[in-house]
Amino acid sequence: MSSNWSKLVRQGVAQWQRAWSRSHRTRRKSPALLTISTEVGACELLENRQLLAAVNLTYNGKAYNTTVDGVNDNWGASVVYDSTFTRTIQVSTTNAGGVNWSVAAVDGFTPEAGYTLLPAANITSLSPSSGNLASSNATTGVVVTISTSGLTASTKYMGEILATDTDHVSDTNPIFFVFTTGTGSELQPVFSSLSAPTITYGTTMDTISGHIEAAGKFPVGDTVAITLNGVTQQATVDIAGNFSSDFSSNTLQATTYTVTFVDEATAVGYLPAPDASTTLQVNPAVLTINVPNQTMTYGSTPNPTYTYTGNVGGETPAFTGALATTATNFSPAGSDWPITQGTLAVSGNYSIGSIVFTNTPALNQSKLTITKAKATIVVTPYSVVFDNLAHTATGTATGVNGEDLSAGLNLAVTSHTNAGLYLDFCVYTDTTGNYQNSAVSVYNKITQAPVSITVTPYTVTFDGVSHTATGTAIAHNIWVGGVLSDVDLTQYLTLSTTTHKNASVYNDSWGFKEPSLNYQPASGKIVDTIGKADASVTVVGYSVTYDGKSHVATGSATGIGNVVLAGLNLNKTVHTNAGSWSDSWTFTDPTGNYNNASGTVPDSIAKATPTISVTGYNVTYDGVSHYASGKVTGVGGLAIGILNISGTAHSHAGVYSDTVTFTDTSGNYNNASKSVTDQINSAQTSLSLSATSVTTGTATGQVTLTALVTNTSNSAMIKEGAVTFNIDGADVAGTQTVYVAGNTTRYSLTVGLKGSTAGLNHTLVATYSDGVSPVNFLGSSSTKTINVKITDTTRTIPSPGSYGVAYWSSAAALTRLGTVSTGGLGYLNSQLASNSLYLRNGDGTLVSSFASVAAFQAWLTTNSGSSNYSAVLSTQLACLKLNVYSYYIYGTTWIDGTSLLPFSPTLGNGSGIVTVNSLIAVANSRLQSNGISLSLNLEASLATLFNSMNINSAVYYSSTKVTLS
């Protein structure tokens, strides 16, 4: 920048500083700040230069809207001009002829706005010229129009507000502005009518007020700081320019205070008023002194007193000096003397207003009257031991000047001889006129004389006679007839309280009291003893047999002179139950004159023998236990316990020799026993024999024999024994089916009749035998003749289930059949061995096992085409078993709808039953009514089904039907 530009810049800054100084030359506080609020563009700080846009002005806390026309950079910010940084204003204008800058009016006041234009080289003219100060207007503010030539429309120009001694860098097309403020139209107010009313010390409140005005206008709302004695309070100016504040004044001393007023210039448009002050006077509080008539004792120093009123808050004023009087220490009693103010005064916060005198107010005097003094009387009492002589106290009387006044003191009243405590009054009578008559009391004491006392106790054994202790009482150093002597006072010794006759240890009291009371009374304790005598005690025991009654030993106790004594206690010898004892007895003397005693005596009660009665039983066998009956009694025929009859319990037939026993639990009876005979006779039975009709075919016929054995004596079940079946004179072997129902047992046996022909009769015999010893049931038998009948010659054998039989006969089944010990065939053999499955050959015999797979398949082929219904049924059953096994092991089966034998007519000849699960479901519903529940395990379920078939037998041998029930 050229030196010419620098000079212009310095001139512009100096002009702004002069304007600022003029507007603030009257202020005593920190100067108001000129705030330039802008919209920031780019906001970069480069060599102490901040880029700004449109300018706003804040002066003395008030915002003035300042605008520069044509501004189009709207970024917003606010800064305060503080003479530290260079403020750069960037403006753009659409008017090539100039730039308008305006400051709007606020609250009727606007500061004067000055500016300095520093033209750039390309600006050819400025109007108005640089440095002019534009006047403000209270309504419109100020508008400055800067006319130029050489500006280019719609072009941004840079401007700066410069601080002193700050370097800067010129920008393209610069226009420089320096804004200034002046005094404008602000008013200068002044204080007037300042008031601080005079108060008296102790006043609690004082109101300080004043007035502030500027050319007939009032800075309403302005704050005035009022300071009194270091305390500052703010007052607010009202619409009439007045202000006031109440100050607490109760701590102000009686003196003169300066009150200062400072305008804090908070009202807009007003300069601060010059400081002002006034004075506050605090006057002393006024006291009233009261001097009453007074008295003074003869010999005292005169010191008249007074009271006062008017002091503040109960505080004590600072008095000096004293009241005055002409009386002296020894002015005669009864004389009067004047009291005046003398040198009495007060200082500090108080003054004396008036002194009120009582005796002669016109002469400002009160009266001081001299009263009689009290003489000092000293009487020395005495304290002596009674010796039968008279004693008198000593004493003196002294005046206030030390003079002896003892002649007026009477001590004769203190003379005494007998023992006692005396309250004596010694009277003083004055003869000078300056002392009061008076008396003094003293206690004089003559204590009782001591007495030497001896008391001797006694120790004896009880003999029925009274005993008393002995003793003496002697007083020493007593004047009798002018001679110092010993006086015998034994007659006043009381020993009657030591007299006793009964045995005991006595803590006895004795006493001494002489009636004249000149001797010390005395008392004491001694121990007198009368020991107990021994009593004579005799006790006799007893020996009896138990009879249910109580027994007690006998005895007696005697004392001195053979007196019968109570107190012999034989309660512990009392017994009722049997036993032997060494019992204790005690003697407790109720008189207290004899020693207690104790001892033992033998007593015994022997056990009694009980009576047992018992009745045996004779009954028929009924399967339950029987017992003999009886009881046991003791003394007086009373039942004494439970008779043990467990040894008579029997349930089987027979004759028994039993014993009942009694075991005593009371301890009063001997244990005992008794024999009894008991008998249970065998029950009668009957046997009913029946047989099914014989069915014949090409093979051996079959018959089912059934024997019903019934207990005819009672309802007992027949659970033992067996039935032997005989056909045509020969016993028949085989496995019987036994079923027990109530008192009837069913025995069933299925046998074959080889070579039977139609019309042939057979003799059947069934015999029941108990088979145990002794026999509970007697045997019975029955004979029946049957005739062979042909009933199924026209019966059609059902289809053997061609698919199932064909499969298990084929080579495809070899793997699943396995061998005789494994696979399906092994499973089939195990079922046969455990009697879980019964299979028949064509001739009616049972199959025990299959020797090989080929043997099984040959059996399957032969029997499925047999004319024997049982053989055909066996092939169906074997195939069903194997299919169940296959289903269980491999999860597949080969049963079809035509392969199932109709086990019951209700099964519909296989229709609708296509799986093993379906068969199980039907079987389950049929078997549940008989209490059989099938599990989910297929193997176990089918085993239950087949067992049911075998038990009912109808699966194999019915000539008319096959059922599951």
Rounded Cα gap, residues 40 and 35, in angstroms: 15
Dump the DSSP string for 521-552.
-EEEEEEEEEEPBPPEEEEE--EEE--SS-B-
Find out whether 688 and 782 touch, Cβ atoms under 8 Å. yes
Same-domain pairing of 33 and 171:
yes
For residue 963, tell me if it sits in a domain: no
Position 8 scores a pLDDT of 36
Residue 332 carries which DSSP code? P
Q: In 769-808, which positions are buried (b, 16+ CB within 10 angstroms) versus exposed (e)?
A: bbeeeebbbbebbbeeebebbbeeeeeebbbbbeebbbbb
For residue 964, tell me if it sits in a domain: no
Rounded Cα gap, residues 50 and 852, in angstroms: 119
Helix (H) or strand (E) holding 129: none
Helix (H) or strand (E) holding 658: strand 654-662
For residue 796, tell me if it sits in a domain: no
- For 40, the domain range is 3-181
How many CB atoms within 10 Å of residue 214?
18
Mention every residue, 6+ apart, whose C-beta is less than 8 A from residue 46. Answer: 169
Rounded Cα gap, residues 821 and 407, in angstroms: 163
Same-domain pairing of 99 and 237:
no
Same-domain pairing of 113 and 167:
yes
Rounded Cα gap, residues 570 and 552, in angstroms: 7
Residue 896: strand, helix, or coil = coil
For residue 129, tell me if it sits in a domain: yes
Same-domain pairing of 269 and 298:
no
Alpha-carbon distance values, 919 to 11, 617, 799, 884 (Å): 128, 58, 18, 11
For residue 356, tell me if it sits in a domain: yes
| CA 540 to chain centroid | 72
Same-domain pairing of 292 and 272:
no
Same-domain pairing of 117 and 234:
no
Beta bridge pairs of residue 394: 380
Rounded Cα gap, residues 207 and 190, in angstroms: 21
Q: Quote the tokens at residue 728.
A: 């045509």
How many CB atoms within 10 Å of residue 906?
10
Rounded Cα gap, residues 862 and 874, in angstroms: 11
Domain boundary, last residue among 354, 371, 388: 371
Residue 864: strand, helix, or coil = helix
Same-domain pairing of 152 and 194:
no
- Nearest 5°: the CA angle 394, 397, 403 is 135
Chain segment 621-637, per-residue pLDDT in tens:
998 999 999 999 999 88
Domain boundary, last residue among 234, 268, 283: 283
Rounded Cα gap, residues 335 and 126, in angstroms: 116
Alpha-carbon distance values, 754 to 691, 694, 726, 731, 874 (Å): 16, 11, 15, 15, 20
828, amino acid identity:
L
Position 761 scores a pLDDT of 74
Rounded Cα gap, residues 322 and 341, in angstroms: 7
Rounded Cα gap, residues 729 and 731, in angstroms: 7
Q: Quote the tokens at residue 522.
A: 């005395």
Q: In 296-318, which positions are buried (b, 16+ CB within 10 angstroms) versus exposed (e)?
A: bebbbebebebebeeeeeeeebe
305, amino acid identity:
T
Rounded Cα gap, residues 539 and 571, in angstroms: 12
Rounded Cα gap, residues 34 and 21, in angstroms: 12
Beta bridge pairs of residue 558: 536, 564
pLDDT < 50 regions, the chain = 1-96, 106-124, 129-138, 154, 156-184, 695-700, 754-758, 790-801, 894-917, 920, 923-924, 926-941, 947-965
Same-domain pairing of 824 and 924:
yes
Rounded Cα gap, residues 202 and 248, in angstroms: 10
Residue 22 carries which DSSP code? H
Same-domain pairing of 231 and 324:
no
How many CB atoms within 10 Å of residue 356?
15
- Closest among 172, 141, 143 to 159, alpha carbons compared: 172
Number of domains in the chain: 9
Q: Please report where in the chains the tokens 């602000």 appear, as a residue.
A: 186
Would you call 230 exposed, middle or buried from its count of C-beta atoms within 10 A (0-12, 13-18, 19+)? exposed
Rounded Cα gap, residues 567 and 556, in angstroms: 9
Same-domain pairing of 676 and 726:
no
Same-domain pairing of 19 and 157:
yes
The model carries a pTM of 0.35
For residue 583, tell me if it sits in a domain: yes
Find out whether 842 and 767 touch, Cβ atoms under 8 Å. no
Same-domain pairing of 137 and 273:
no
For residue 97, tell me if it sits in a domain: yes
Find out whether 374 and 397 touch, Cβ atoms under 8 Å. no
Q: How far apart are the first and last CA of the chain?
A: 134
Rounded Cα gap, residues 486 and 473, in angstroms: 11
For residue 792, tell me if it sits in a domain: no
Question: CATH code at 581?
Answer: 2.60.40
Domain boundary, last residue among 154, 181, 208: 181
